[in-house]
Amino acid sequence: MAQNATTMNQPENAAAASWTSMATIAPIAGWLFPGLGHFIQRRWIRGLLLMLAVCTMFFAGLGMQGKVYSFNVGDLLDILGFIGDVGSGLLYFLARAMNWGAGNIHRAVADYGTKYIVVAGLLNVIAAIDAHHIAIGKKP
């Protein structure tokens, strides 16, 4: 009976032991700059592909005169757009500081650009979660 109790606690202890500082640093770094969470874990190709994908989508969206959402509690769609945009990390803060992404309602392609920017942020969040899973050993 005592042996069964110790074997049941092993997965909990293994999960607690696998939680290292890299498990905290990698997703934060990956969120701040796309691909950085993978770079610091020496996953060069995956990090490079993620960095290229997120940055290309973000800057293509800006090139299409897409809107970069600011914090606004008045409209649900603006809140969701803001959450998606903030997922881009420093790219979002750079765009806000440089006053990029004002949006252009007179061009239909600007709406596609807005979606590119939001999806770039969401992809970056998924990449940060992937970096976390690599750091804790859930993913090779």
Q: Say if 2 falls within a structural domain.
A: no
What predicted TM-score, i.e. pTM, was given to this entire model? Answer: 0.84
Tokens representing residue 49 in the block: 């592909």
Question: 17 pLDDT exceeds 50?
Answer: no
Question: Do 90 and 32 contact (CB within 8 A), yes or no?
Answer: yes
CA distance 50 to 47: 5
Q: Say if 64 falls within a structural domain.
A: yes
Tokens representing residue 24 in the block: 């905290």
Q: Say if 44 falls within a structural domain.
A: yes
Q: Say if 11 falls within a structural domain.
A: no
User: 37-83, pLDDT tens digit by residue?
Assistant: 999 999 999 999 999 999 999 999 999 999 999 998 888 989 999 99
User: 51-62, pLDDT tens digit by residue?
Assistant: 999 999 999 999
Q: Say if 124 falls within a structural domain.
A: yes
Q: Say if 10 falls within a structural domain.
A: no
In this structure, the dihedral spanned by the alpha carbons of residues 100, 104, 109 and 110, taken in order and rounded to 10 degrees, is: 40
Q: Say if 120 falls within a structural domain.
A: yes
Residues sharing a CB contact under 8 Å with residue 65, sequence separation 6 or more, in sequence order: 102, 103, 104, 107, 109, 110, 113
For 38, the domain range is: 22-136
Q: Say if 78 falls within a structural domain.
A: yes
Domain count, the chain: 1
